[in-house]
Amino acid sequence: MSEFDRPLRIGLLTHSVNPRGGVVHTLELATALHAAGHAVTVMAPAAAGQAMFRTPPCRVELALVNDKPRDTVGMVRSRIGAFVGHLHALLQRETFDVLHTQDSIGGNALAQLQDEGRIGGFVRTVHHLDTFDDPQLTRWQQNAFERASLVLSASRLWCDHLRSDYGIEAHEIDNGVDTQRFSPVAQAGDAAVGQRLGIATGAPVVLAIGGVEERKNTARLLAGFALLRARHPRAQLVIAGGASLLDHAAYTEAFRAQMQALGFDEGPWQPLRVTGPLPDADIAALYRLADVVAMPSLREGFGLVVLEGLASGVPVVASRIAPFTEHLAETDVSWADPQDPASIAGALDHAIATRDAQRIAASSARLSQRFSWAASAARHVALYRAHLKEKHPCP
């Protein structure tokens, strides 16, 4: 076995221990790489007492964040510093063939280690890019992918964006969906989850994953849901998750005012149920309790929720924009204009009225065949090896 064919020592960095899309991606990729025989270490910054929301089969290293910053810039700086300090110690006792980060926090930590000569380069996956009011956050975001020696992305949309706006050639690499975790087969604990969370029965349940955020288009979803209630007066909108590091307080406050203006009560069994972050074990049950999954996002890196919803046997509403239009067929979902609440309402109503288990199963089977974590891991490894050979060519 040559130096470039042996199992790889891979460090995967993610920005948080909480269930966000990039963190889920990291854990699923780590699990698939581990299953393929590679030595994988997942790394994340964490406060004292925190643990990864899901325990992967590989090693996890948590970088301790000691301070409690007052703003987003301070939070990002403290997490970059935690990564740098932790990796200083870790790299003194072991080496990695690949250090791969999913976000700007890890990217800036690795860029600093690169400047110090402690590492020769790093890999960065760009899921999506945000627009920040603070110039420091903008600089950090750009630095984290411009300094990377290999850039990846899960969609053609963001590959094109990186090429046209920054001159960076990113490699498109598919996500996956875990069809064992997400299944339409009802489980014994599903009803108990619904009772504990106050999920309505006998009425259409609209599920949105990701919390209340501008990027998730939650305010327009709420407006569309209000229109849907004219046809389904007992419908319930469930908004789950939302463990973000970014500050969404102003948007959330406006959302609450909108909710009150519409006359919606929020809480268990009420028209609107905002659960906040949930235990990982609840999410699969929550999908199965829904009548439709809504993802009318304004900006996504890929949109794992769509694949997870279909794998759970639930119809999905998605925005008729990239990246959804890149990998979904016309009949896979009910399409909506994310800028138009009436269009969102119409798509929700269409998804509920035309729910067809066989059609959803066929879409899920086709998509899960293409989007598997095992295939994604194999593609990652091929790019890792090609990059290592380019950096260290054989004599």
DSSP state of 184: S
pLDDT in tens, 20-61: 888 999 999 999 999 999 999 999 999 999 999 999 999 999
Which fold does the domain 9-176+372-391 belong to in CATH?
A: Rossmann fold (3.40.50)
Residue 387: closest CA among 172, 126, 122, 111: 122
- Which band of pLDDT confidence, cut at 50, 70 and 90, is reported for residue 80? very high
Give the model's pLDDT for residue 3.
Answer: 59
Taking the domains of the chain in order of start, what are their residue ranges?
9-176+372-391, 190-370
Which fold does the domain 190-370 belong to in CATH?
A: Rossmann fold (3.40.50)
Q: What is the CA radius of gyration of the chain?
A: 21
C-alpha distances in Å from residue 207, one per residue of 178, 272, 273, 303, 361: 19, 10, 10, 14, 19
Mean pLDDT in residue range 348-373:
97
Cβ neighbour number for residue 124 with a 10 Å cutoff: 27
pTM of the model: 0.93
Report the Cα–Cα distance between both ends of the chain, in Å, rounded. Answer: 16
Are 9-176+372-391 and 190-370 equal in CATH topology?
Answer: yes
- Which band of pLDDT confidence, cut at 50, 70 and 90, is reported for residue 392? low
Residue 309: closest CA among 290, 325, 322: 290
- Name residue 99's beta-bridge partners: 11
DSSP state of 131: -
> Which three-class secondary structure state does DSSP give residue 329?
coil
* Residue with the larger pLDDT of the pair 281 and 4: 281
DSSP state of 39: E
Query: What percentage of residues in the chain have a pLDDT greater than 70?
Result: 97
Instruction: Please say whether the beta carbons of 308 and 282 come within 8 A.
Output: no
Residue 395 pLDDT exceeds 50: no
Give, to the nearest 10 degrees, the angle between helix 72-93 and helix 135-146.
Answer: 30
Residue 149: closest CA among 130, 168, 167: 168
Residue 335 pLDDT exceeds 80: yes
DSSP state of 57: S
